[in-house]
Amino acid sequence: MTGQKRKRNNRRSYDPAVATEPLEALLQQAFPDATELAVVDRTGGGDHFQVTVASRRFEGLSLVDQHRLVYDALAAPLSDGTIHELRIKTKGTA
């Protein structure tokens, strides 16, 4: 099984914060009470992210509804293609 290989032709130096900070800011806005908030660039390519948020807002919600809140917060970068892949981990604070 060969899927398409993604070529990384220009190996310039890259600061992951450039990609993760705007997403962190959006999440901070949406979850001002977050007790944990992290965005990790999983591949170093600036488009595959792991997001972790712990907030009281998640309590009592199904995982689907919890993730929907995260998708809502990141709607802009999701729709404009900034985020190619997103992994989400949500937690309540209880």
Residues contributing to the site for other proteins (CB under 8 A): 1, 3, 63-64, 67-68, 71, 75, 78-79, 85-89
CA distance 55 to 33: 6
Judged by CB, which is closer to other proteins: 3, or 33? 3
Report CA Rg, the chain. Answer: 15
Using CB atoms within 10 A of its CB, is residue 55 exposed (0-12), middle (13-18) or buried (19+)?
buried
In the complex, minimum distance from the CB of residue 43 to other proteins, in angstroms, rounded to a whole number: 11
In the complex, minimum distance from the CB of residue 21 to other proteins, in angstroms, rounded to a whole number: 21
Q: In what order do the strands lie in the sheet with 48-54?
A: 36-41, 48-54, 85-91
Judged by CB, which is closer to other proteins: 34, or 73? 73
Judged by CB, which is closer to other proteins: 38, or 89? 89
